[in-house]
Amino acid sequence: MNNPTPFAGRFAKAYPELGTKPLPIDKVYTAEAYEDQKEKIWKKMWLRLMPACEIPNVGDYVVKELECADTSLIVTHAADGKIRAFHNMCSHRSNRVAYEEKGNTKTFKCRFHAWTYGLDGALIHLPEPDLFPDFDQCDHGLSEVACEVWEGHIFVNVDPEPQWTLEEYLGPEIYNGYNGFWAKYPMVAKYEVEVNCNWMVFIDAFIETYHFSTVHAASAGDVINSTTNPNGYLDAARLFERHRTVSADSNIEYNPTFAESLARKYSGSATLAPDLEMIKAGLDLPPMLNPAGMDNWSTDILVLFPMCNLQALQGFYVSQNYWPTAHDKTRWEFMVFQTPPTNAAEEIAVEYNRAYLRDVVREDLNNLEMIQSTLASGAKRDQQLGDQEIMVRHGYKVLADHLGYGYSV
């Protein structure tokens, strides 16, 4: 099922188990469907929470709201070097114990009765312990959540007894196939915004290129569309039990502007100006990237079910988290990872790259709330998907498999 498939137009033949039927709207986007997804997806799966570079020092912590799992989490970097995650909930009478979005601390002290916890979650102090006669302090630390770091990214699973380790969840090919690629670049930019659309509407807008010739015609069409691939089709897909990757090529005949050439030269990335030499230099890629071995490789998108994209490009990568906060709302995080600039020229080039990416993804965002506004009308009961939307279709199948309502071809 997961060998790289050849050029676009044949995905349906390569993956007959996905079929070509329309996909039902009421199974995915409604408030009722979301309640089911919370229990069976968001409280059961491994979720990519954030890059570990957000808490590099001992004492660093971040508080993450996970409305989709009905909780708030504290992620800590303790003195033993370990990264841990806890429910942000006092063991006494359930108040929160961390109140800022992030910081550096030695302890978390509840504002209700001052019970105090260490970075490892242990309850290290409570006032007047004699008031609690049958009470063992050691048993009342913060409730820990399964937490693992893979390729420089922190994953959590709020299921008290996760069905899989993170390695099992990702599967051996993904878990072992990137050789540190995702860990080698630090985060240089991040955008966060709440958008009025369902999380699947959001993620599906970023895993097909069928929209490229309309949505991104002006900003990026010439960089992607080439004489050999005039519609910017995806070139290869690999579909796993839950996750998926796709590869796309670039238009190496594109003639970059002077500013784009400078940005390429000083940022070490070729988003705006595909460069064969740079691509070749970068083709010493780990086995999971560019599995089809394209000479003019542009990008691979790894989609980790349910809510994360990692998109490798030439000399850098971007990543997105899609956190539902309601059936029709998603908090979106967009992150750019790149070699940090060391001088003014590189700083300007990296900034140019960041601004370019911001403008391209803003084009994607323009449609999302309009899509959401039509879904509740009932006018259409299903959605049609073409061959280039194989990743979207696979996402629905994975969702259906996990929710137990079945997927028919």
User: Which stretches of the chain bind Fe ion, using CB under 5 A?
Assistant: 364
CB of 245 to Fe ion, least distance (A): 17
- Nearest CA to 303 out of 245, 235, 248 is that of 245
Contact partner at residue 364 from Fe ion, ligand FES, none, CB < 5 to 8 Å by partner kind: Fe ion
**Contacts with ligand FES, 110-139, as mask; x by CB under 6 A:** x-xxxx------------------------
Contact partner at residue 181 from Fe ion, ligand FES, none, CB < 5 to 8 Å by partner kind: none
Q: Which range in 107-115, 255-263, 277-285, 386-394 contacts ligand FES by CB under 6 A?
A: 107-115
Residue closer to Fe ion (CB basis): 64 or 216: 216
Residue closer to ligand FES (CB basis): 105 or 219: 105
Amino acid at 76: T
Burial class (CB in 10 A: 0-12, 13-18, 19+), 208: buried
Residue closer to Fe ion (CB basis): 137 or 219: 219
CB of 215 to Fe ion, least distance (A): 5
Q: Left, alpha or beta for 378 (phi > 0: left; psi -120 to 50: alpha)?
A: left
Tokens of 323: 């956190």
Q: Which range in 109-117, 128-136, 164-172, 382-390 contacts ligand FES by CB under 6 A?
A: 109-117
Q: Is 93 in the site for ligand FES (CB under 6 A)?
A: yes
Q: Nearest 5 degrees, angle CA 15-CA 19-CA 25?
A: 125
DSSP code string of 346-383: HHHHHHHHHHHHHHHHHHHHTTHHHHHHHHTT-S-SEE
Q: Is 153 helix (H, G, I), strand (E, B) or coil?
A: strand
Q: Nearest 5 degrees, angle CA 265-CA 254-CA 224?
A: 100
Among 69, 90, 166, 170, binds ligand FES (CB under 6 A): 90
Contact partner at residue 93 from ligand FES, Fe ion, none, CB < 5 to 8 Å by partner kind: ligand FES
CB of 115 to ligand FES, least distance (A): 4
- Nearest CA to 299 out of 245, 363, 369, 241 is that of 245
CB of 90 to ligand FES, least distance (A): 3
Q: Which residue is nearest to Fe ion (CB)?
A: 364
**Which residue matches tokens 């137009």?**
9
Residue closer to Fe ion (CB basis): 219 or 261: 219
Helices 344-365 and 258-267 sit at what angle, rounded to 10 degrees?
110
Q: Which positions lie near ligand FES, rule CB under 6 A? A: 90, 92-93, 95, 110, 112-115
